[in-house]
Each structure stands twice: as C-alpha cells, then as structure tokens.
Structure 1
Amino acid sequence: MFAKRALLSLLLVGGVALARTAPEPAVTPAPTEKQAETAAWVAQLLSNSRFHYQPLPLDDALSEKIYDRYLKSLDGDKAFLLASDVEAFSKYRESFDDALRDRQLQPAFDMFNTYVQRVGERTAFAREYLKGDNFDFTADESYDYDREDATYAMNSDELDALWKKRIKNDVLRLKLAGKDLPAIRDTLDKRYVNYDARVREINSEDVFQTFMNAYANAIEPHTAYMNPRTTENFNISMRLSLEGIGAVLQRNDEEMTVVRQVVPGGPAGLSGKLKVGDRIVGVGQGKQGPMTDVIGWRIDDVVDLIRGAKDTYVRLDVLPAEAGSDGPHEIVTLIRQKVKLEEQAAKKSIVEVKDGDGMRRIGIIELPTFYQDFEGRRRDEADYRSATRDVAKLIEELKADRVDGLVVDLRDNGGGSLTEAIELTGLFIDQGPVVQVRDSAARVQVESDGKSGTLWDGPLAVLTNRASASASEIFAAAIQDYGRGLIIGEPTFGKGTVQNLVDLDMFARGEKPGLGQLKLTVAQFFRIDGGSTQHKGVSPDIGFPVTLDAEDYGESSFDNALPWTQIKPATFETQADFKPLLPLLQAKHDTRAKADPEFRWWSEDVAEYRKQRAQTSISLNEATRRAERTAQETRRKEREAQRKAAGLVDDDTVADDVRDDGLQADERDIVAEAEREQKAREDDKPDALLREAAHVLADAIDLLSTDRSLAARVHPMGSDDARTD
C-alpha cells in the first residue's frame, strides 16, 4: 500500500556517529539474548486484551498459523525448499508457541538457514545451466510463475525442471530486449551470484523481524514488529525530515553503493559535490581520521555509517559517475543537517475545465500520506510538520487564486496519523464528530473536530482509489456522511482498524536496549453513521473503472482480517444530500468518458491489466512473445499519434519506450534511470482521472447554481448561492 515510501528506507538518517569497522563476512545467523527478551515482551503484549483489540492465546492453534506465515515468508513461490525440508520443519508446526514462551528462537533460525542452503544450490544450478546450449525458443511451452497453490518439489529433479523454465524466461526477456547470448549469460550469471550473496547477507536482526512479523500477522494483518532500524525509517516517513546528507542510495550489480537521488536542499545538493551515479567506496567520520572501505556492504550498513547528528562532519570517498573503475577518486566532506522530504508532502495545482462558455478553476491538493512529526508535536515545536498544517497553507493559497472548487486527491494514500485525519476533516466542517473508535472492551469514543469555523466551505470532492486506506477512509467517510463533498473514483481499501506504536524499550532494562517497537491493533473505527469501512471501504458517489478487486488487493484479501460490523450512529447534522444530483453527474461523466480519449485509453488499460493479472503463466515461445511485444508497441505508437493529432501533447514530444528491458533495478544505468524519472515527473501529460474529477465537481457547481429546484433538494436548508458544500 505504501509504494512511494520504499525509497525512504534508503535515506541517510540521523543519529549519533559511532566509530565503525567493516562488517564481518556473512555468517550463519543465530538468535541473541536481546531478541529472546524482545520476543517475550511481544508475546505478553499480543496475548493481553489490555493492549490488543483481538488478542489470541499463544497455543498450538496459533503456532500453526505462525508456522504457515513464516514458511511462506521464506519461500512463498515454493522455488527453493524441497518437500523433505518442509517435512523436517513440520515438528515446529505446533511448537512455536512453546519455543516463544521458553525464549527459544533457534527453530526459526534453523528453518532460515536451510532456506539459505537451498538458495545456494539453486543459484549454482542456474549458473551452470546458463553455460549450456539449452535454449530452444521454438517449443510450445510456458512458465507457470504463480506458484501460490503449487506443492513443494519432491526432489531436486523437480526443482531443476522448474528452474530451467525460470532461467529460460530470464534469457528470453533479455533476448527480446536486443541482447545477444554472451551478454545475456554475463548479465544473468552476475544476477544469480548477487542473489545468493544478498540472501547470505541477511543478518540475525532481519531473520528475527521476519519471524516476529509472522507471529504478529498471525494475530491480525496490521499488527507488526519493527526492529530499531525499521522504526527509525518509519519515523522519517511520518515526520518528513531527517538529519543526514540528503541522498538516496542504491547498490548496483557490481556491489557498489551508488547515489540514486540527491534530495534538493540537503547538504549533498547544496554542496554541488555529489551527483547521481557517483559511487561511494569509503566513509570516514569527522574532518580527519581513517576511511572505512564500504565496497560490498549492504545499503543499510552504509547508511548506518554515513548517518550522524546535525552539524557533524562525514567524509565520503567518491568514484565519480563519469570515471572508470580505475579512475581518480574524490574526497567529499559534508556537514550533516536536517533535510526535508518534500516529495511526500502535500502539493497543490489548478485544473481549468470548460463550463459552458466559461471556465472553472478547480484547485487540487494531492496528499500522499497523513504525516505528522509526533515528537515535534509532543515538544510543542512551532514548526513541527503536519499534513493538516500543510494542507491549510495550500488552501489559503488556492483561495487567493480564486478557485471555484477543491479536489482532495487521496489516491495511493495508505493512511498515517488518526489525529491528522480528524484535524484535516475539521478544515471542511464546523465542529462535530468525525469518527467513532471502539476498543477491546467495546467502549465507544467519538472523536470530534472541536474547532469552530471552516477553512474551506466551498465545493469539495475527494478522489480515491483502491490503495486509499485507513486515515484516508476516515476522512473520505466523514466528508461523505456529512454530505460535505462528493467522493469520486474507486472503492477504497477497507481498513477499519486503529494501530498504536508501543516502544518495547519501556519494558526493558538498561539505558538503550534497542528492542524496537510493536505496532498493535488497539481499536476499530466506525463512520459517524455507525457503519464500518472494514472490508467495505468507502464507496464512491461517482465511480471510475476498478483496477483491483477487493479480494486481490484490500482488507478482504487477508484471511484473518476483522469482520465488518456496525454500531449506533453518532449525533451529527448532514449538510447536503447528493442523491438527487448523482444521476445527472453520472450521465455527464459517462458521456464525457466516452468522448475523452485519455480516459477511454485508461479504461482500456485497466481492462488489459485485469486480464493480465488473471494470468498465471507466460509463453516461452519466442514468436509468441514477439507478437505480443509488437502488438503492445503498435498500440503505444497509435495512441501517441492520436495524442499528437488531438493536440494533447506537443509534436516534438517523444513517448517513453515502456517495453520490458529484461533487467532488474540494480542492473540498469542509474544516471539514465534518474533522467527518465525526472522526465516522467516533468511530463505535462494530463492526468485523465484527476481532470475528470475536476469536471465532475464543475458539473455539480453548474447544476446547483442554475437549477434552484435541484439545489433545494440537495440542500434542504436552502441557500441563495447553493453550492456543493
């Protein structure tokens, strides 16, 4: 649900700079005493109704669920482990409960270490198979890549047969992208070597977190354990700031740390000394002192070495992007500072849509997440970061621009702070309940906006999709229940539960035990009309084609999600009833959608995506794959020609080549990728869904301002200047 946050885990975050030596070579992970202590505290919290909304006793039944989830996390595609391995593991199926109580984590580590051994065997087989003349692409065969319901291979021969097709597909993808066989062999051999190496780099903390999440997720899908490193990355994503140098790093297929992005306004960007594609081969602390070689290090270990407190120095041994592997190095000295992560912050724009002979200016606020600097707020800092604060500033700017209506874009917004959802709603309503929260004791608390007045009382719409979840659903549901605005787009995710973070260090001995945090589901939230968004989500008033079914992506896809239920409604007054308006808006939308090529193409793409998603295999016949590739390329070129003919893009615009290049992220040229991503950000191609949402809101403004009878039905209280508020 949080695709945009993936890069945050690579950012250089703050902390106290420590003297470090190079990490030890990969060793067999083993549990530690601290992890045993952490597991004990987690078990107490997850089985206690004072902490968890739906606690489960740690017994044999729960042990089976933990086992199944942990096994799936290791080898969900059943591509590495043998049936004999799983049979050997089965002794743990009903004993993980006893192991956790006894602080014995070795069984989980034994399972992982067997997995590592099998990965080594598979990658060794793949490398050897690449050397032979094994690739006949004229046969009519296919590769079944969806193996969720498959059984584990009975022996190595069965796994060999699976991997021969898997390797063949890797080869064919690169061949279709124009590579010759020697280059293909070189690329894939390096890929398999790196895959094995990176699995062997997984450390004890990683294994422990995976196992504890198998336990937490067995209770309920949104309960989770976060080790200290994961906790810090989560905090960065919520406060939208860090103390570091302001760079996003990536490891390439040569095992070097490469700068993927320089954050604007950060020390690296302001210095002008670090750029995309530069390779960091060493790190030193302070203005002087030894430099630690970091070639071959994991990214997060490099990040740990570079991170440091504000106003401290870090030195980087850099091999410039344009230099060869034996080129001259540069030493870059930077002072760590606070870096703001603006990409995840709220943004504004204005869309102009025709309204008869005139033009409507519709303000857009894109909100990627409901962020809040929890620590800054607790310390009452004047400038602490908050989604509501940022949106309020943008609304004031849009009001100064004299927009006619406002669309809040919550597509792909997976949620965040419950407080932010309540306070953001308060910008659009004049006091009143926003959401109801029921705890494990069935006590219901109504969370309300207590501030009088509204910041925006004009026409309003909320744009959603299937990935709009949690806090997004609280906001959208409140706007819908009050009749405050229109909900447009897809049904939302359907997550109706509330989580709290528990710092496990509170229970531990020692000054800095570093046990991590537990994200606990502590309550279920309900709409003010008494219904729940759990499973059902928020249904739009005007719907767009659905990209994903709830059973494939949504709360309903989890086998242990809480059921839907309802409670008594809160006391509130609706501001409008849009039911009389909706058929008129739907008709206008349908007519426009048929005539709008961009919206029509998007609808076709959704249908094609759903069709491909339903497939579980892919042809290994070269002629078939080339025909498919040609059809896709022809379709792309035809669309681009139609866009240019319709004046939707400039004549000199070059369409992106979206064909599969067969490469993984770490195998691509980082500089070229950065340029492509920058071009995509600057692309002025219209967002068909956002533009259509603006049209729908403009239609509502027009209908309610010209039809007083309709306006009176929508707004029972009546108004001389009836509007969609």
Structure 2
Amino acid sequence: MSFLRSFLFMSLAILLVIASFTAGYLFHQQQVGRNTYTLFDEAKEILETHGLKAPPAAPRLEYGMIRGMLQAYDDPYTIFLEPPQNELESNRLEGKYGGIGAQLEQDEQGNWTLYPYPDSPAQQAGLQDGDRLITVEDLDITPQTTADVLQAALRGPVGEAVRLSIGRAPDFTPISFTITRQEIALPSVTWRLAAEDERLGILKVNLIAASTPEEIQRAIEDLQQRGASAFVLDLRDNPGGLLDAGVDVARLFLKEGVVMQQQYRGQQIKTFEVEKPGPLVDLPLAVLINKGSASAAEISAGALQAHHRAELIGEPSYGKDTIQLVFTLQDGSSLHVTSAHWWIPGLETPVGPNGLQPDILIDPAGSAPGSDPYLQAAIRRLFGAS
C-alpha cells in the first residue's frame, strides 16, 4: 500500500510539474496575444525580454524594418538609401556638390589619403597629394570607414566650413585644417578625338545628370574646333539618371516629334515632344550601347533610333522602362519608389524587358585584346571605311 501511495504521489508530482510548464507556455501565448501592439512590436518586445542580446537601436532598427518591407514588396527598383548614400546620389544627379575638391584613395594598409584637384579649396588650403586623413569633424577615419560615409562627411552646404586633420609623410604628425566648401563640378561627359580617325569626336556619357545636355553641347563645340566632323555618343555602361535630362539629350539631336511617353498609375498618358529643332540636328551621329546602358540612357538612345536620327551599335541594352520617384525622409535618407512606366512610340519592340535592339550587333567576345569593335563599327558606318 505504501508503495502504491508513493507511486501515486510521484505521479501526481510529475503531472503537476508538466502542468506547470504547459500552463506557463500557454500563459505566455495568451499574454502576447492579448497585446494591442502590432506584430512587429510583439516580436520586438520578445527579443528585448528574452533575447541573448538586445535588438539594434534606432535608426539601424528602422532601416532594417524598411528594407524588410521592400523585400516583401518585391520590386528591384524600389530601394531605400541611408543618408550618406542618398546625399552622394543627389550630388551625382545634380552634377555638382559642396566640398573641398579632392580625390579619395585607400592605400594597401587601409589608410584614406587625399589628392587635391587643381585650384580646389583643398589645394588652396595647403593639402598635398598623399596626405592621410585622420579625422573629419568628429569622425575618426579608420580602415573600416566606408567611402560613402567619408565622402558624405567631407561634403555639405557651399560656404560652410569643414574641420579635418591629416597626417603627412614622413612622420604623419597630425595637422589641422579648416576648409570652406565650394561648389565642385561632377562632370558626366568626357570627350576626345578618336585615335583611329581624328575626324571622329567621341563623347563618353557616364551618367544622365541635370548638366549632361549642356556638357554634350560644350563637348561637341570643342571637338568641332579641333576638326571633328562626325560624332559618337558612347552610352555603354551608362546606368541612366534623370528622366528629363534623358529627354533633353535626345532633343539636342532631333527636329521634331515625340521623344517618349509615360504613365503613372491611374493618370493620363504624358507625352514628351521636341518643342523646337535641336542645335545638333545635322551632325552625323552614331550611338554605342551595351547591356549596361539603362533607364534614361535608353530613353536618349531609343528616341534617336525611333526617329532614324542615329544608328545604335553594340549589344541589346538593359531594358529598364520604369520611373522611380524619390522621397526624402526626415533624417535625410530616401525612398525610391517605382511609380510609372515609359515607352518610345515608333520602336519596333518595347524597351522592357529585353532592351533596345541595336541596328548593328557587336559580339565583344570575338574582338582582339585592346581593340574596340564598337568604335570600329561606328567609324565604318560614319565614314564608309572598309
């Protein structure tokens, strides 16, 4: 009998322990479920209470939330940029920024060094090639400092001063500078005469920025003075940029007609036309594209092809036919949201998703090392060379 009582007692004790664990589990389930918080708040509270380490603090936590939301949104062109990256992107598209005017390079040890541009605020203040950055304002510069963060620290409003300290060879004793930021141009176009035939002017357009149409006109004027009579607009690996600037690049070379059309959700179609003959309508022209030519660069190239103004030479382009609106958030970060589609009337095939189809297809894999088959094809087309 005593054995039976002992067995029953032990069994009851075990049941009570199991029940207590089970009840505790159910209790927590019910407590969490009763909260009026959002699902995110519930998960965050659990991490704060029970996690081995604390959740990240704002703004890192908020940035992670935004990125998670965009991942679920599932659009590769709707993106979030943190403040430093957003500032650099804005500068790039504007074609200028407030800064000290110096190239940044990282040496083999990870040290960030400065190379002032000629006649820049940095050079005028006394900075020299190879000066090693130590601090910018209150930011300590280490090998782990990213280029975006460093550039954002050096840039700012024109007329505002920035404090920095550098180390100079051989002893790298810290030297302090206070430099007033000035407007620094970020050219989107470089140009040269073709070495193969100096009658040909080559304009390499790296980005479609607000200043690009004006830069193209200035480049062509210079090349004409140096003897160029035909031109190549090289849009290879141009990721695009500003839609309006892409339209204006095409307008430079067109007499009349529609450049492109766009439509936002629930709105009427908007048409972009050539309002008056462009200043470069009579110049012989070829356009180079490849799979890295995208967005606003495809607008410029596609409009010239649709109007039979210039032949496209190269590979099919990227095929991005959407428009992103940029919303600056309260801390200087930004949300780029896909909001519209665009297309070019007159093209035989739409731009997206397969890209512009070149008039002259080039296979770069079959070219000799050091040669440029795109450019060689343009010379043959423009001058009839064999």
Per the normalisation by structure 2, the TM-score is 0.76
Counterpart of 1:517 (choices 330, 334, 340) is 334
- Distance in 2, Cα, partners of 1:210 & 1:529: 43
Counterpart of 1:363 (choices 194, 201, 224) is 201
**2:223 is equivalent to residue 398 of structure 1:** yes
Q: Is the Cα–Cα contact under 8 Å of residues 84 and 149 in structure 2 kept in the other structure?
A: no
- Distance in 2, Cα, partners of 1:491 & 1:331: 52
1:132-153 superposed Cα distances (whole Å, 9 cap, x missing partner): xxxxxxxxxxxxxxxxxxxxxx
Question: How far is 1:442 from its partner?
Answer: 6.7
Relative to 1, partners in 2 of residues 1:232 and 1:105: Cα closer, same or farther, differing over 3 Å?
Answer: farther
1:68-96 superposed Cα distances (whole Å, 9 cap, x missing partner): xxxxxxxxxxxxxxxxxxxxxxxxxxxxx
Q: Which amino acid aligns with 1:527?
A: I
The aligned residue for residue 483 of structure 1 is 308
**2:354 is equivalent to residue 532 of structure 1:** no
Counterpart of 1:245 (choices 94, 100, 104) is 100
The aligned residue for residue 372 of structure 2 is 688
The aligned residue for residue 497 of structure 1 is 322
1:446-477 superposed Cα distances (whole Å, 9 cap, x missing partner): 21121234424132110011110011111111
Q: Which amino acid aligns with 2:134?
A: V
Matches within 5 A, 1:154-553: 204-206=58-60, 208-217=62-71, 218-249=73-104, 258-276=112-130, 278-283=131-136, 292=138, 294=140, 296=142, 298-299=145-146, 306-323=154-171, 327-342=172-187, 345-351=188-194, 353=196, 361-372=199-210, 386-441=211-266, 443-504=268-329, 513-514=330-331, 516-529=333-346, 531-545=349-363
User: Alignment identity in percent?
Assistant: 25
Q: Which amino acid aligns with 1:351?
A: A
Question: How far is 1:275 from its partner?
Answer: 2.2
- Distance in 2, Cα, partners of 1:498 & 1:330: 47
Q: Which amino acid aligns with 1:219?
A: D
SS in 2 for 1:462: strand
Q: Is the Cα–Cα contact under 8 Å of residues 281 and 319 in structure 1 kept in the other structure?
A: yes
Matches within 5 A, 1:618-697: 688-689=372-373, 691-697=375-381
Q: Is the Cα–Cα contact under 8 Å of residues 315 and 363 in structure 2 kept in the other structure?
A: yes
Question: How far is 1:702 from its partner?
Answer: 6.2
Relative to 1, partners in 2 of residues 1:241 and 1:409: Cα closer, same or farther, differing over 3 Å?
Answer: same
Q: Is the Cα–Cα contact under 8 Å of residues 294 and 302 in structure 1 kept in the other structure?
A: no
1:494-544 superposed Cα distances (whole Å, 9 cap, x missing partner): 11111111234xxxxxxxx42632211111111212642111101111122
The aligned residue for residue 608 of structure 1 is none
Count matched residues. 345
1:35-76 superposed Cα distances (whole Å, 9 cap, x missing partner): xxxxxxxxxxxxxxxxxxxxxxxxxxxxxxxxxxxxxxxxxx
Relative to 1, partners in 2 of residues 1:309 and 1:502: Cα closer, same or farther, differing over 3 Å?
Answer: closer
* Bigger-Rg structure (1/2): 2
- Distance in 1, Cα, partners of 2:82 & 2:141: 25
More strand by share: 2
Q: Is the Cα–Cα contact under 8 Å of residues 463 and 693 in structure 1 kept in the other structure?
A: no
Question: How far is 1:204 from its partner?
Answer: 4.5
Give 5+ residue unaligned stretches, structure 1: 1-98, 118-201, 285-291, 354-358, 373-385, 505-512, 548-592, 594-598, 602-685, 704-725
Relative to 1, partners in 2 of residues 1:697 and 1:499: Cα closer, same or farther, differing over 3 Å?
Answer: same
Matches within 5 A, 1:109-148: none
More helix by share: 1
Q: Which amino acid aligns with 1:474?
A: I
Give 5+ residue unaligned stretches, structure 2: 1-35
Of structures 1 and 2, the one with the larger relative CO (CA 8 A, separation 6+) is 1
Matches within 5 A, 1:586-625: 599-601=367-369
Q: Is the Cα–Cα contact under 8 Å of residues 97 and 156 in structure 2 kept in the other structure?
A: no
Relative to 1, partners in 2 of residues 1:698 and 1:294: Cα closer, same or farther, differing over 3 Å?
Answer: same
The aligned residue for residue 31 of structure 2 is none
The aligned residue for residue 616 of structure 1 is none
Per the normalisation by structure 1, the TM-score is 0.43
CA RMSD of aligned residues (A): 3.6
- Distance in 2, Cα, partners of 1:691 & 1:339: 32
Q: Which amino acid aligns with 1:225?
A: F
SS in 2 for 1:493: coil
Question: How far is 1:220 from its partner?
Answer: 1.4
SS in 1 for 2:339: strand
Question: How far is 1:240 from its partner?
Answer: 2.2
Q: Is the Cα–Cα contact under 8 Å of residues 325 and 337 in structure 2 kept in the other structure?
A: yes
SS in 2 for 1:600: coil
- Distance in 2, Cα, partners of 1:329 & 1:207: 36
SS in 2 for 1:348: strand
1:316-350 superposed Cα distances (whole Å, 9 cap, x missing partner): 32211433xxx5332334222222223xx212111
Q: Which amino acid aligns with 1:436?
A: Q
SS in 1 for 2:376: helix
Relative to 1, partners in 2 of residues 1:243 and 1:329: Cα closer, same or farther, differing over 3 Å?
Answer: same
- Distance in 1, Cα, partners of 2:266 & 2:317: 28
Question: How far is 1:436 from its partner?
Answer: 1.6
Question: How far is 1:430 from its partner?
Answer: 0.4
303-312 or 101-110, which deviates more: 101-110
- Distance in 2, Cα, partners of 1:542 & 1:266: 43
- Distance in 2, Cα, partners of 1:228 & 1:308: 12
Q: Is the Cα–Cα contact under 8 Å of residues 102 and 122 in structure 2 kept in the other structure?
A: yes
1:413-459 superposed Cα distances (whole Å, 9 cap, x missing partner): 00011111111111111021011213223732221121234424132
SS in 2 for 1:275: coil
